[in-house]
C-alpha cells in the first residue's frame, strides 16, 4: 500500500479547499450561478463524490485520475444531479491500472423531469498496463427531461503499441516512452499541485 | 568494414512469411535504393531492422557496426545509429514535438555517456534544421504529427533525422505525397547529410526522388528478396519497362 493519501481539491465561488476525500464521501451543493471545480486523485480505497446543481446556471467540472497498482481494489463513484434547469456539468475521468489491481468506476448523470436545457458530459479513459489489470466502467445516464444535451464516452485499453514503438525507434527507453504516453493521456486533467504525487507513482509503478 | 550486413534474413507476421532469405551489405558512405511493387516487403525490411515488435524474425543475421542487432531493443538500435523515417508516421496526441526531439536527443547522449543538452544548445541545433525543412515554430509547439498533413509528417521525419544525426538512415517512401518543392527540400536534407561514415537506404517507387539524390546501388525487391541489383541507371530501365520482367 502506498502511504500517500488521496488528493482532493475544490474551488467553489472563489473559495478553495484542499485535502483528502472522507471515506463516507462528499456531497457538494452548487447554488444558482455558481461554478465548482473539483479535482480528485484516487490512489487507494474508494471515493464517492456527489454534486447537486440546485439553481439555474450552476455548473461543475470534475476531473479525476485514478492510479491503481498491486492487488488494490478501488471504487470510484461520481454522481451529478441536475436538480435545476439550465445547469451544466462536465466529468473527465482518467485511470492507469497495473499489476493485478481492479478499479470499478461508476459515473451517473441524473437529469430529472424539471432539468430542461441542461448540458452534461462524462468522458472516461483508462489504460491497463498488464493483462491482469481490470477496469469496470459503468456509466449511467438517468434522463427524464427531454430538452437536454448529454454525452458520455468510455475507452479502456492497453497503451498504443504503435506509439510506444515510434518513441523507442527514436532511442527513448521503454519505461520513459511509456511515461511520456501516460503523461500525455492525463496531461490536461489535473491541477499542477497533484503533479509530484503522480510522478512518484509513475516512477514506482508504471 | 561493412556498416550493415544482412544475411538470409527471414521474417513473418503471424503465419505470413514476408522476408525470404533477404541479404544485403551496406558500406559506410553508400546510398542504396530499394524499389519494388507494393507488398514486396520493403517496409517490413525497414521495420525489422528498426526492431518493430509485430515482425518475427525466423532466421538469418543482422549485424550493424559488428553488433548483433537482432538481440537489441528498438531504442538500443536507435542509439547505435539506426534510424527509420516511417512510411506512415504515428500521431502522438499530447506529446509536444519539441519536447519529443529533446527527449530523443538526450536518450542518445545518455547512451553515449554524455550529459543532457542545455536549452540554448538545443535551440541552436533545432532552429537551422527546422528552417531548412520549412518546419515552423507553430508545428514544433503542436503534438507530434497530430493534424499534420502528409507532407508535414514527412518533413518532420526528416527533421528528426537531421536532428539526431544517425549513421544509418532508412527513408521509407519519403517521397510519397510530396510536391516537387517539398521533394527538393527533402532531397537536399539527404544530400547535406551524406558523409563518408553515414549510409542511406531509400525505399521508393519513383525515379523522381533520384533526380536530386544519386545512389550507389539500386535493388529491385520482389516477394521478400532482392532479385536484381544495378547502378543508378536501373531506375530509368524500371520506369520504362516496369517490374514485370523481374517476376
Ligand atoms: N503488420 C502487418 N500485419 C499483417 N500483414 C502485414 C504487416 N506488415 C506487412 N504485412 C504484409 O506483408 C506484405 C509486405 O508488406 P510491406 O512490407 O508493407 O510491403 P511494401 O512496403 O513493399 O509495400 C504485404 O502483403 C502486407 O500486407
Ligand atoms: Mg511500404
Question: Among residues of chain A, what percentage have pLDDT more than 70?
Answer: 98
Q: Which residues of chain A make contact with B143, given a CB cutoff of 8 A? A: 184
| CATH placement of domain B4-93+167-246 | 3.40.50.300
pLDDT digits (tens, 9 = 90+) for B64-99: 999 999 999 999 999 999 999 999 999 999 999 999
- How confident is the model at residue A2, as a pLDDT? 44
Least trusted range by pLDDT, from A16-30, A191-205, B126-140:
A16-30
- How confident is the model at residue A1, as a pLDDT? 43
Instruction: Give this complex's ipTM.
Output: 0.96
A146 occurs within a structural domain? yes
| Sheet of B67-68, strands arranged across | B16-26, B4-13, B56-64, B67-68
Q: Residues B27-46: what's their mean pLDDT?
A: 96
Instruction: Give, using CA atoms, the residue closest to atom 4 of ligand 1.
Output: B13
The x, y and z cell numbers of residue A133, run together, are 489489470
Nearest residue, CB atoms, B50 vs list A169, A176, A184: A169
Ligand 2 centroid to residue B224 C-alpha, Å: 12
Q: A170-184 burial string, b = 16+ CB within 10 Å, else e? A: bbbbeebbbbbbbbb
Ligand 1 centroid to residue B52 C-alpha, Å: 13
Question: Among residues of chain B, what percentage have pLDDT more than 90?
Answer: 89
CA distances from A124 to A185, B35, B60 (A): 11, 45, 46
A42 occurs within a structural domain? yes
A30 occurs within a structural domain? yes
A54 occurs within a structural domain? yes
Ligand 2 centroid to residue B155 C-alpha, Å: 18
B176/B144 Cα distance (integer angstroms): 19
Q: In what helix (H) or strand (E) does residue B186 lie, and over which residues does it extend?
A: helix B180-193
A179/A206 Cα distance (integer angstroms): 7
Which range of residues forms the domain containing residue A63? 7-159
pLDDT digits (tens, 9 = 90+) for B193-203: 999 999 999 99
φ, ψ for residue A80, nearest 5 deg:
-120, 125
Q: Is B36 in the pocket of ligand 1 (CB under 6 A)?
A: yes
With a cut of 50, say whether residue B236 has pLDDT above it. yes
A199 occurs within a structural domain? no
Binary contact (A171, B111; C-beta < 8 A): yes
Q: What does pLDDT average to over chain B?
A: 95
A126 occurs within a structural domain? yes
Q: Residues A19-24: what's their mean pLDDT?
A: 80
pTM for this prediction: 0.93
Nearest residue, CB atoms, B79 vs list A160, A171, A174: A171
pLDDT digits (tens, 9 = 90+) for B210-231: 989 999 999 999 999 999 999 9
**What is the best residue among B39, B55, B57 to mutate for testing ligand 1's pocket, by most ligand atoms within 8 Å of CB?**
B39
Domain ranges of chain B: 4-93+167-246
Strand spans (E) along A43-118: 46-53, 59-68, 73-82, 88-97, 102-111
pLDDT digits (tens, 9 = 90+) for A103-153: 999 999 999 999 999 999 999 999 999 999 999 999 999 999 999 999 999
Radius of gyration over every alpha carbon of chain B, rounded to an integer in angstroms:
18
Chain B residue at shortest CA distance from A161: B53
Domains identified in chain A, total number: 1
Going by pLDDT thresholds of 50, 70 and 90, the confidence category of residue A175 is very high
Amino acid at each position: 500500500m502506498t502511504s500517500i493519501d488521496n488528493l482532493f481539491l475544490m474551488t467553489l465561488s472563489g473559495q478553495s479547499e484542499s485535502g483528502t476525500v472522507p471515506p463516507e464521501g462528499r456531497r457538494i451543493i452548487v447554488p444558482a450561478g455558481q461554478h465548482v471545480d473539483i479535482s480528485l486523485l484516487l490512489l487507494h480505497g474508494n471515493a464517492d463524490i456527489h454534486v447537486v446543481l440546485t439553481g439555474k446556471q450552476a455548473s461543475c467540472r470534475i476531473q479525476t485520475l485514478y492510479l491503481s497498482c498491486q492487488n488494490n481494489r478501488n471504487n470510484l463513484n461520481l454522481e451529478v444531479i441536475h436538480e435545476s434547469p439550465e445547469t451544466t456539468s462536465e466529468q473527465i475521468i482518467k485511470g492507469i491500472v497495473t499489476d493485478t489491481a481492479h478499479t470499478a468506476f461508476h459515473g451517473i448523470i441524473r437529469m430529472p423531469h424539471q432539468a430542461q436545457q441542461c448540458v452534461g458530459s462524462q468522458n472516461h479513459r483508462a489504460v491497463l498496463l498488464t493483462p491482469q489489470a481490470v477496469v469496470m466502467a459503468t456509466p449511467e445516464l438517468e434522463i427524464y427531461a427531454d430538452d437536454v444535451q448529454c454525452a458520455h464516452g468510455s475507452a479502456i485499453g492497453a497503451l498504443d503499441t504503435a506509439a510506444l514503438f515510434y518513441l523507442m525507434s527514436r532511442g527513448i527507453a521503454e519505461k520513459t516512452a511509456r511515461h511520456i504516453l501516460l503523461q500525455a493521456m492525463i496531461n490536461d486533467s489535473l491541477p499542477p499541485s497533484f503533479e509530484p504525487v503522480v510522478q512518484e507513482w509513475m516512477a514506482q509503478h508504471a | 568494414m561493412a556498416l550493415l550486413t544482412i544475411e538470409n534474413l527471414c521474417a513473418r507476421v503471424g503465419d505470413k512469411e514476408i522476408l525470404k532469405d533477404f541479404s544485403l551489405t551496406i558500406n559506410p558512405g553508400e546510398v542504396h535504393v530499394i524499389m519494388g511493387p507494393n507488398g514486396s516487403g520493403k517496409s517490413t525490411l525497414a521495420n525489422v531492422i528498426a526492431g518493430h515488435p509485430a515482425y518475427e524474425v525466423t532466421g538469418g543475421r543482422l549485424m550493424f557496426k559488428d553488433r548483433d542487432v537482432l538481440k537489441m531493443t528498438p531504442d538500443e538500435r536507435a542509439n547505435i545509429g539506426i534510424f527509420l523515417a516511417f512510411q506512415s508516421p504515428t500521431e502522438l496526441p499530447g506529446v509536444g514535438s519539441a519536447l519529443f526531439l529533446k527527449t530523443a536527443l538526450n536518450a542518445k547522449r545518455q547512451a553515449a555517456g554524455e550529459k543532457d543538452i542545455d536549452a540554448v544548445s538545443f535551440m541552436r541545433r533545432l532552429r537551422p534544421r527546422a528552417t531548412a525543412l520549412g518546419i515552423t515554430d507553430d508545428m514544433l509547439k503542436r503534438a507530434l504529427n497530430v493534424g499534420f498533413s502528409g507532407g508535414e509528417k514527412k518533413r518532420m521525419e526528416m527533421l528528426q533525422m537531421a536532428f539526431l544525426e544517425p549513421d544509418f538512415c532508412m527513408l521509407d517512401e519519403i517521397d510519397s505525397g510530396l510536391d516537387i518543392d517539398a521533394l527538393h527540400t527533402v532531397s537536399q536534407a539527404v544530400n547535406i547529410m551524406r558523409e563518408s561514415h553515414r549510409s542511406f537506404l531509400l525505399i521508393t517507387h519513383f525515379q523522381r526522388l533520384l533526380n536530386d539524390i544519386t545512389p550507389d546501388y539500386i535493388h529491385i525487391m520482389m516477394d521478400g528478396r532482392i532479385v536484381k541489383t544495378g547502378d543508378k541507371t536501373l531506375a530509368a530501365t524500371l520506369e520504362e519497362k516496369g517490374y514485370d520482367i523481374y517476376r
